Copies of this chain bind each other. A is one copy, B any other.
């Protein structure tokens, strides 16, 4: 039937698009908390940047008293910090919205989790001595290209409010799971903004510019905005913090399983606080049982499980619902928005017991 020790069956990324390369992590088939680099989801806005590694410097400029540039060697010599972080694309689970929305049809694997090591962005900003009227920090990547809705070439760049930029866990990262950052994930350095959807974590960082105004680049004023209405942009607001969420990893949707005990298992995460509770329903949400949940750290993942005796030969609709330490709970229905960001309705699968 199954042989879970089969040494030669290996999960793969799921290709959603090649140009730019967007590939989803095989989220249902990962049992360890940390996603191996080879199975980390890939999400790009543009082609991969050409890159001259030999001449790499990162500059901090703008509203600062002392513009400064760091070589990789200098970054490596600064005090480091390691944080285990969920990176989740704001469009994760977009394919589940009804009515359907346009854009990359991510299923449940536009997310990964692992240990990023680097220098706190705060450390670099302090060395540049930022002006007292500073408001935001703009991070620009080496990746650029055309947008179909605008005329010019745009670099991928976004700003962070000063408070988030100075958060001690906001990193200029150079390492993933104890190895150099893979090229496709930002080598040699990327920004890591724990707790925010991953559009904030700019890859292939080119420069850091402190500004005393509000940045209005297209990747935070056109894209990565929640548009609650189909036909107009009213009431739009920016995508920032990761919503509380969970995904059932086993069983798989539409699986056929034997009667008897089965362990339902999965993951849960939140961008603000820690996961406090995961509940599971096997009757389509009529009743809920508490799952055992490990002690997820802030910004990381919790793993949960519940063993249930499936005695009746019939269909079961299984759901999971996570709650975080800020009392945010997954809603029954998602917050529909035109560009399909932040899906976090209770997760749901259906199985047949024979």
A residues within 8 Å of B by Cβ?
1-4, 6, 8-21, 23, 26, 28-29, 46-48, 95, 100-105, 145-149, 184, 252-258, 350-352, 354
Contacts and interface: CB of A to CB of B under 8 A. Distances in A.
Contacts of A13: 12
Contacts of A101: 254
A177 to B, nearest CB: 20
A10 B14 CA distance: 11
What is the count of identical protomers in the complex? 2
Contact of A12 (B8, B15, B147, B149): B15
11 contacts: A1-B147, A1-B148, A3-B20, A3-B145, A6-B48, A9-B18, A9-B20, A11-B15, A14-B14, A102-B256, A102-B351
A53 B163 CA distance: 64
Contacts of A257: 148
Nearest to A351: B102
A255 B102 contact: yes
A231 to B, nearest CB: 13
Contacts of A253: 105
A48 B8 contact: yes
A47 B3 contact: yes
* CB-based closest 6 A-B pairs: A9-B21, A2-B19, A3-B47, A1-B146, A12-B13, A14-B14
Which has the most chain B C-beta neighbours within 10 Å: A4, A18, A184, A257?
A18
Contacts of A351: 102
Given A6-B21, A47-B2, A148 B102 contact: no
Nearest to A24: B14
Contacts of A95: 254
Contacts of A100: 254, 350
A354 B14 CA distance: 27
Which has the most chain B C-beta neighbours within 10 Å: A20, A47, A95, A255?
A47
B15 A15 contact: no
A17 to B, nearest CB: 7
A204 to B, nearest CB: 14
B148 A258 contact: yes
Contact of A254 (B48, B102, B354): B102
Given A12-B13, A23-B12, A256 B354 contact: no
Given A4-B19, A6-B47, A12-B23, A354 B148 contact: yes
Nearest to A7: B48
A6 B44 CA distance: 13
A6 B258 CA distance: 46
Contacts of A6: 18-21, 47-48
A145 B46 CA distance: 47
Contacts of A350: 100
A184 B101 CA distance: 38
A310 to B, nearest CB: 12
B12 A14 contact: yes
